[in-house]
Structure 1
Amino acid sequence: MDRFHLEAPQSEDAADVLFALEVEPKAGLSNSEAKQRLSVCGANEMQSRPRAGILSILLHQFQSPAVILLTIAVVVALALREWEEGVSIIVVLIINAVIGFATEFKAIRSIEAIRALANRSSRVLRDGEVCVIQAKELVPGDIALLDAGDVIPADLRLIETANLEADESTLTGESVQIGKTTTPVHADARLADRTSIAFQGTNIVHGTGVGVVVATGTNTELGQISKLVADAKTEMSPLEKKLARLSGQLIWLTLVLATLTAGLGLLQGKDPFLMIEAAIALAVAAIPEGLPIVATLALARGMWRMAQKNALVERLAAVETLGATTVILTDKTGTLTENRMTVQRIWLPSGEVRLATNSFGSSDGSNVIPPGAAAEMQEALEVAVLCNNATLSDVVGGDSGDPMELALLRAGRMAGLDRRRLLHDNPEVSELAFNIERKMMATIHRHGEDYIVAVKGAPEAVLASVILDEPMRREWLARAAALGTQGLRVLGIAKKTARCGADFSFDASKFLGLVGLDDPPRPDVPAAIGACRDAGIRVIMVTGDHAATARSIAGQVGLGGETPRITAGTQLTRHNGSIDTELLKSDIFARVSPTEKLELVRLFQASGQIVAMTGDGVNDAPALRQADIGVAMGLRGTDVAREAAAMILLDDAFPTIVEAIRNGRVIFDNIRRFAIYLLSCNLAEVLTVGIAMISGLPLPLLPIQILFLNLVTDVFPAFALAMGEGDRDVLKRPPRSPKEPLLGRAQWIEISLHGAFLTMATFGALAAARYGLLLSETETVTVAFLTLAFSQLWHVFNMRDRRSSAVDNDVSRNPWLWAALALCAGIILVSVYSPYFARMLHVSPPGADAWVVISTMSVLPLIGGPLIARLSVWLKRYGRQPRSQMSPDAAPL
């Protein structure tokens, strides 16, 4: 590979580069030589994060601590020949794995389908003939042919150009088109100034060219960025960490309970086999078999909801991270704005014209034109239309070219100017392309016996080349600055007439005026930013644009209030990783480079924030990868940006991020709800078995009965809670603290109290059946079993938001819940009255008196729910619970 590696091809003459790569420019490589180089250099492909295969996706479903714990339970149950318990847990594990696998597999394949759209071809010279090959087959030394509209397939040293211009914004962040030449530049020139190189992944917007491939794959500038992204490690999401912590707590709880029970019984001289059975019962009771499957379903449901709302998430656990987001760092162009420039102002010698146009170039007839300005405006727009490389199309989405040039064409169309007709009357004969040094461009047109030189560019550059006295020049510069403070992008327009054979240049032109262009905000953005404000989420604009433009857009969308705080990107590099709290209070970061974006993400994360970051360009990839949630644009985003992101917006709309955050919050609330529900039910089972063992009573619940409760009366209502639409005001409360556990002190107290009420109901029914109705042991166990089963079903209504009414609330409005309750009740009745299942569960059909006891005692937890809610409020208000940002009203009843 070293044989074909050039250190700084941008600084060498084209002939020297061709000589070093051993290629003739008119013939190209031979097919045999290209094949040999491909075997040495490798395919022209980016390094991407390893795609999960079918086996790895499947194995990932068995890696959580909860699943590992259930697997251990299976081994123990089968070792003790408890076949029903073992097989039942295996079924749970399989269902959980299938759901998780199917969801993640579908998401990954959807994202890969988007990436597949990037497969491109390239025109090259091989054996002296032009042929089309896959871009991945390019090798150093290939001669590539370029035309307008092409995406450059590799890093090329240009050897021929004809008015060649490239859009390199995705790589360099520069929003202007770059004129390309064959002239060498300094070896240390920054990327945007390497005009002799055409970079992989950038676009040719005008002209033609020929280049020799000097770098492919990860050796290109684009490839170096993609390699950084691919090498980065993926950390566990907050939810994965919290579920792992909870599962670890449950593992220790299970081991301690089982060991203590078995040890205490053995010390009392009880049957060892009976003690082992009791220990298994406690272990089965303590393990929430439904937790992994319901958590998986909740996240899968969240991914499906987000996909319906144009947000594609690759990993299940990333869904919940959105709900913890505290800061959104968002692009301006195309995310907050429409990315469709419009001409808003034209400042002419006779006065200012305000255009009432939309992004399609039509007017509502309310344009304000000063007296005598009509002819001046017509002349200025004619020059703006002639000095232009964009193309308007009558087909929706068919426009091509720079957004500013398209806006000029639309303004010309509004004035009755058609570029094709103008070019027919004034044929273009040459062009002086825009470049960073001169900051303007010109096109030369034949006009009768003379030539017209149409000029446009940066106001300061155009004004420096026109015929004006110094006071008037300063006055025009002040007008340009005034337009800039209003958030408009400003162009200067000039024109001159040259005789045939004259030296075409920008000098001695006639100044025609200034054009102010605006990229209007999306109409739905202000409401979305308002929703973020209500939700306690900071929205911060991070843009490469000027501060004045950013301030104007911020004012239009309601970002940062009346006086948003603005910081220049250069200030970020002065802190060397230290956190400046005043700096992080800024609402806008302007003129920010890709490196500074990455630093900004790190600074916010170091201050304890959960950061969502939007981006679309190659230069955004490192920051997207660093962010807690990287959000790439699906319509205009580059492959590298989508590769780095955790979420892809299929519509590129900022409100989609807000909707995704809402879904993330709902998912967390639902997971917390069903975790409280499952664990309180499990605690009741543990207490029931444990108290019976300590007091010397016969086991009121057998292991198979506990497993039945965990898989029926626990899982289906918990699943219904996971499917809930969430509280209506979920975006009206501040984000929870990133450090807040899934289950904090208050939630564990709630679990304990709910579990105690469920246990009292069970023992109350047991006592009434045994000592009141004088039922047999099997009948008594049946009453206890059914009481706990129905108590757990009614207990689900305790999970409602306590601020809502007892009748109309987020739980009662959940249709999935009513279906789950009906299904569970039906399964319970069939299991009791079916001889086969009754024999397997060791129960018998209860009589009428027993049903009275069951019905009466099973509603006790529902009555106790409001008391627990009030106690929970008191504990949160006066207790010593660590402070959290989450609203106390968000917890379940």
Structure 2
Amino acid sequence: MSGLTSKQARERLRQDGENELSASAKLHPVRMFLGQFRDVMVLILLAATAVSAFLGEVTDAVTIILIVLLNAILGFLQEFRTEQTLESLRNLTAPTAAVCRDGTWQTIPARELVRGDCIRLEAGDNVPADAALASASGLAVNESILTGESEAVAKRSGDPADTGNDLHKPNIVYAGTAVLRGSAEGIVIATGTYTQMGKISVMLQDVRQDMTPLQKRLAGLGKVVALLCLGVCAAVFLAGILRGEPVFDMLMTGITIAIAAIPEGLPATVTIALALAVSRMMKHGALVNRLHSVETLGCASVICSDKTGTITENRMTVTAISAGGESFQVTGTGLHIAGAFLQDGHMVNPSAKPALRELLVCGSLCSTAELHRETPEKSQRNRSQRTERGSWHAVGDPTEAALLVAAEKAGISREKLLRQHPVRHMEPFDSETRRMAVTVSAGAGVCTYWKGAADCILEQCGFQMLGDKTVPLTAAQKRSIREQAAQFSDQALRVLALARQDGTGDCVFLGLAAMIDPPRESARTAIRTCARAKIRTVMITGDHKNTASAIARQAGLLRGKKAMTGAELDALSDAQLDACLDQYAVFARVNPAHKLRLVRAYRRRGEIVAMTGDGVNDAPAIKEADVGVAMGRSGTDVARQAADVVLTDDNLATLVDAVEQGRCVYANIRKFVRYLLSCNIGEVLTMFLGILMGMPVVLLPTQLLLVNLVTDGLPAIALGLEPPEPEAMQRPPRKPDESFFSDGLMGRIVFRGIMIGICTLGTFAVLLRLGGTLEAARTGALCTLILSQLIHVFECKSERKTLFSIPYASNGWLIGAVLVSVGVLAAAIAVPALRVIFSTVLLTGQQTGIATAFSLAVPLVSSLAGLGRRKG
């Protein structure tokens, strides 16, 4: 192959551009940071900061500005991180390439490759561009970053005219994939954004992330708060003017009370609640990259899951063996040591079955994989099964490791076999012959063991092993073996045939070994949990349709649903896909564009989508989804950086746990929003109604500051630590367009706020009527306001239970926060120096009783009414 001339290469480079992935225009970090201040709630808080500073409330101003800056920094870090995703993708491309130019082989920067270049590939190389193979020798490539399937893919040369770079083609190698073994020469057919990797980079640029459901709800809450503040300010101002108060004084009073109505602790409390949820999720094996995605998980109505390693073990397991004319089942999964051999449901001793034992010996010797123990060896194997706990650690091909594990379950150690039968020669697996062989010493002679595709092995066998005898293999018996292999394949099992050849004698067929990557038991449980929570789980995989359907059936995914291939998906319009989407639970043989299209289809239907994946091929769909989830163990850097959440154990059950935490955090946010707004409404009404009724000022500014200090801080944060309610995963997910104040929350907030305000005024008025001093009346009102709010915090623990049925002991932090707040209130009244600061006085027993009675009245009446409604 002479390749292109330098002149031809320069011309094509000018036409097509360099062999690099596209890079989007980067947003300057300063602009990125300033963009965090566009939210309505943030603008309200900034306005509150300015007014507080103008009124001399420096402490309030500093507190609010710190809260705003904290939220801006968190948002900036998330946006900046997403900018790095494409950069990671660019780093996957090979830096240099071996290319033939002007008739000579040379090494050039990979970015200078053009269509028509002849390139050379060796084991360990990264493929620099999509290329059609002109020649290949034992070539195997890892395409997992594009297909999601981790097995080595055998490649061979093909028709020179076949230059399409669609995925899953045996004669095409793709940019960014890794050569595992063998060598090859090929002609470059696509560079830059025209490669499969380049198409993914374009898709990544086209994805735009929307606001999360929580961000949308908080924006709506900000508008409500803005209207509330304006309304309070206007009402107080007008009421004062009508009473003949000075205009400027009433304007300042209205603004002051409006500022008091702003729940300035809300953004910080939301951030803390999300951060605490992140901490809890980390303990369960889920790392969160984007803070608000925690709550979005709780809204998830569809989970689009990869198959390999997420739903399955990502470890091939021998489950069935046909040897010596008999059929056997093998128990145990993956690399677990424990397992047994069954025949017709009864355990058998493999040593008593010569053909079975010889097949396992063949599978152990004809291998390049290795097993290492993760726990010290304990002799816990009887003749029929191995009962040890623990797992093996495997190195090498997953299929070969599965055969080694099966042999170990029968007490056959590869290490011991190799000491007895040293290897003399090995013929590695070849994609053309579809088999491998190993020749070992056997006494004074040699023995060759064969392993490969059933058709290939059967062709070279003239005998078979039945019992402990070797008998001729007839045409009828070969037909029967092929039928057995077909039955295994129909069950989505991978089938290998094994044979032995003594010296130069005839080849003896030993049997068939069938294996599969089985579903995780935890994944089955997780899928059932999702079904109860009305969350649909969908499998999207690059594997074959039959294999994917079999795994989905075993995992409990199908449930009357069907499977669709990528080719079938291509034949549907968007409207047709939307109409039939509910009928399918498995999408097989899909490419990155298919995954992205499916995520968009579910989102068009109003679903909140969580998408899991580990490869570069998953990155566009992960970024497009409402919550992108990457695998921590098997995932690529590109997938992890595009994701909102990373699962450290690659387990679907971990994601379902994270969904429960997401539901919990949203419930907790509703709890402390209910609490904060009720308290703020109570404070505003106390002041507002006092002005309307012509009373003296009910609470002084320092006393209001004490109320905010005691009630808005620790108790609200402690509500964010509430554990998930037992029924959290037994209810359907929230609808994306659902109001933050759905299920009557706003009504409960307003009612409770009004009652807090009325009870506080009641205490103030009664104490004055009974002859108490103004200072005593204010102190009593202060006690009623704080105590009623601290009692209300327990009401906020649940939206469905009353004070008589909530689990008080479930959140020790809340009890501690309330006790601290009560202690601060007591100190403000009992400590002389603090009495001077907060203008309080010691109350008599009667006055204390009145304040406490008003504090308890409303929650007790509400709880009794709630009990009555439930009983009725």
The answer to which of 337-346 and 141-150 deviates more is 141-150
Deviation at 1:294? 0.8
Describe how 1:328-347 pairs up with structure 2 within 5 A: 328-347=303-322
Whether the 8 Å contact between 2:67 and 2:267 is mirrored in structure 1 is no
Shift of 1:596: 3.1
Equivalent residue for 1:657, pick from 655, 658, 678: 655
Match of 2:452 in 1: 456
Q: Tell which deviates more after alignment, 313-322 or 486-495.
A: 486-495
1:862 to 2:867 alignment = no
1:615 maps to a residue whose letter is G
Whether the 8 Å CA contact 2:341–2:349 is kept in 1: the answer is no
Q: Is the 8 A contact 2:142 2:180 kept in 1?
A: yes
Separation in structure 1 between the aligned mates of residue 547 and residue 533 of structure 2, nearest angstrom: 27
Q: Compute the displacement of 1:135 (Å).
A: 13
Secondary structure in structure 2 of the residue aligned to 1:427: strand
Corresponding position of 2:277: 302
Q: SS in structure 2 opposite 1:712?
A: helix
The reply to whether residue 405 of structure 1 matches residue 388 of structure 2 is: no
How has the CA–CA distance of structure 1 residues 46 and 204 changed in structure 2, closer, same or farther, with 3 Å as cutoff? farther
| 1:821-867 alpha-carbon deviations (Å, 9 max, x no partner) | 122223334445667765665x2324325433322322223223315
Describe the superposition over 1:580-614 as per-residue Cα deviations: whole angstroms up to 9, x where unpaired: 55541434344444433333323322222212121
Change (3 A) 1:558 1:212: closer
Residue among 471, 483, 488 paired with 1:478: 483
Which residue of structure 1 aligns with residue 257 of structure 2? 282
Match of 2:328 in 1: 353
AA partner of residue 855 (structure 1): T
Q: TM-score, normalised by structure 1?
A: 0.79
Give the secondary-structure state (helix, strand or coil) at the position aligned to 1:859.
helix
Q: What SS does the aligned partner of 1:399 have? A: strand
Q: 1:92 is aligned with what amino acid? A: I
Deviation for aligned residue 1:233: 1.3
C-alpha distance in 1 between matches for 2:70 and 2:834: 27
Separation of aligned partners in 2, 1:571 and 1:197: 23
Query: Residue 791 in 1 paired to residue 763 in 2?
Result: no
Alignment match, 1:886 = none
SS in 1 for 2:400: helix
- Separation of aligned partners in 1, 2:139 and 2:421: 20
**C-alpha contact (below 8 Å) 2:315/2:517 kept by paired residues:** yes
Equivalent-residue separation in structure 1 for 2:108 and 2:817 (angstroms): 54
Answer yes or no: is the 8 Å Cα contact 1:429–1:446 preserved in 2.
no
Cα shift at 1:518: 2.1
Instruction: Give the Å deviation of 1:229.
Output: 1.6
* CA deviation profile, 1:325-383 (whole Å, cap 9, x unmatched): 11222222211221111222222462323334553485755354799995554665566
Asked if the contact 2:690–2:761 (Cα under 8 Å) also holds between the matched residues in 1, the reply is: no
Q: In 1, are the aligned partners of 2:97 and 2:110 still within 8 Å (CA)? A: no
- 2:308 aligned counterpart, secondary structure: coil
**DSSP-derived class of the 2:729 partner:** coil
Q: Is the 8 A contact 1:361 1:407 kept in 2?
A: no
1:601 aligns with 2:599: yes
Contact 2:333 2:518 in 1 (8 A): no
Corresponding residue to 1:237 among 192, 195, 212: 212
Which among 633, 636, 640 is matched to residue 634 of structure 2?
636
Aligned match of 1:845: 841
Q: Does the C-alpha gap of structure 1 residues 705 and 160 become closer, same or farther in structure 2, counting only changes over 3 Å?
A: farther
Give the 3 Å change call, closer, same or farther, for CA 285–535 of structure 1 in structure 2.
same
Q: Conserved in 2, the CA contact under 8 Å of 1:149 and 1:203?
A: yes
Distance across 2 between alignment mates of 1:394 and 1:248: 61
In the other structure, the counterpart of 2:798 is 801
| 3-state secondary structure, aligned to 1:166 | strand
SS at match of 2:744: helix
- Mapped to 2, the partners of 1:101 and 1:43 lie a distance apart of 36
Partner residue in 2 for 1:891: none
Tell me the residue number matched to 1:671: 669
Aligned mate of 2:684, from 677, 683, 686: 686
SS of residue paired to 2:681: helix
Contact 1:351 1:370 in 2 (8 A): no
- 1:331–1:543 contact (8 Å) kept in structure 2: yes
1:91 aligned residue (51, 63, 84): 63
- The 8 Å contact of residues 163 and 179 in structure 1, kept in 2 or not, is answered as yes
Compute the displacement of 1:699 (Å): 3.2
Gaps of 5+ in 1: 1-13, 24-36, 129-133, 501-507, 878-893
CA distance in 1, matches of 2:293, 2:851: 43
Matched position secondary structure for 1:847: coil
Listed one character per residue, the Cα deviations across residues 168-218 of structure 1 (whole Å, up to 9, x for unaligned) are 133135665333457674354344466565434423333356889998876
Equivalent position SS for 1:743:
coil
Please give the secondary structure, in 1, of the residue aligned with 2:140: strand
Q: Write out per-residue CA displacement over residues 409-461 of structure 1, whole angstroms, 9 at most, x where no aligned residue.
A: 44456555568679954513575325xxx8x345586999999694523x567
Q: Residue 57 of structure 1: CA displacement?
A: 8.2
Report the equivalent of 2:513. 515
Query: Which segment drifts farther, 211-220 or 520-529?
Result: 211-220
What CA deviation, in whole Å up to 9, does each residue of 1:287-340 have, x standing for no partner? 112211111111111111112211111111111001111122222221122111
1:813 Cα deviation after fit: 2.7
Distance 1:749 1:793 in 2: 20
The aligned amino acid for 1:205 is L
Q: Which is further off, 684-693 or 359-368?
A: 359-368
Q: CA 1:97–1:476 in structure 2 vs 1: closer, same or farther (change >3 Å)? A: same
- Partner amino acid, structure 1, of 2:63: V
Mean Cα displacement is larger for which, 353-362 or 119-128?
119-128
On the 8 A contact 1:612/1:627 being kept in 2, the answer is yes
Cα distance 1:827–1:450, how it changes in 2: closer, same or farther (>3 A)? closer
Q: Which amino acid aligns with 1:327?
A: V
1:166 and 1:832 map into 2 onto residues whose CA distance is 77
After TM superposition, the structure 1 = structure 2 runs for residues 169-568 of structure 1, keeping only pairs within 5 Å, are 169-172=144-147, 177-180=152-155, 185-192=160-167, 198-208=173-183, 220-348=195-323, 350-356=325-331, 358-360=333-335, 364=339, 366-368=341-343, 374=353, 376-377=355-356, 380=359, 384=363, 388=367, 390-393=369-372, 399-412=394-407, 414=410, 415=412, 424-428=422-426, 432-433=430-431, 440-443=434-437, 454=450, 456-457=452-453, 459=454, 475-493=480-498, 513-561=511-559, 565-568=562-565
Asked if the contact 1:625–1:645 (Cα under 8 Å) also holds between the matched residues in 2, the reply is yes
Task: Give 1:676 deviation, angstroms.
Answer: 0.8
The CA distance in 2 between the partners of 1:320 and 1:585, in whole Å, is 28
More displaced stretch, 104-113 vs 627-636: 104-113
CA distance in 1 between counterparts of 2:167 and 2:156 reads 13
Q: Are the aligned partners of 1:123 and 1:145 in contact in 2 as well (CA < 8 Å)? A: no
Separation of aligned partners in 2, 1:48 and 1:648: 25
Summarize the Cα distance change of 1:683–1:806 in structure 2 as closer, same or farther, 3 Å threshold: closer
How big is the shift at 1:512? 5.3
With over 3 angstroms needed to count, the CA separation of the structure-2 counterparts of 1:736 and 1:443, relative to structure 1, is: same
- The 5 A counterparts of 1:104-183 are 140=113, 148=123, 152=127, 162-172=137-147, 177-180=152-155
Which residue does the alignment assign to 2:724? Answer: 726
Question: How do 1:36-75 and structure 2 match up within 5 A?
Answer: 62-75=37-50
Give the partner amino acid of 1:825: V
State the shift of 1:809 in Å.
3.1
Q: CA RMSD in A?
A: 4.7
State the secondary structure of the residue aligned to 1:844. Answer: coil
Q: Is the 8 A contact 1:45 1:217 kept in 2?
A: yes
SS of equivalent to 2:573:
coil
SS in 1 for 2:307: coil
1:320 aligned partner, one-letter code: E
- Residue 526 of structure 1, CA deviation: 2.8
**Given the superposition, is the C-alpha separation of residues 797 and 175 from structure 1 closer, same or farther in structure 2, using an over 3 Å criterion?**
closer
Distance 1:203 1:108, change over 3 A: same
Instruction: Give the stretch that moved more between structures: 99-108 or 563-572.
Output: 99-108
Contact 2:492 2:546 in 1 (8 A): yes
Residues 470 and 677 of structure 1: is their aligned pair in 2 closer, same or farther, counting only changes over 3 Å?
same
Instruction: Letter of the 1:785 partner, please give it.
Output: L
Q: Report the Cα distance in structure 2 between the residues aligned to 1:808 and 1:51, rounded to whole angstroms.
A: 53
- Structure 1 residue matching 2:513: 3-state secondary structure: strand
2:277/2:661 contact within 8 Å kept: yes
1:738–1:158: structure 2 CA closer, same or farther, 3 Å change rule? same
Contact 1:338/1:520 (<8 A) preserved = yes
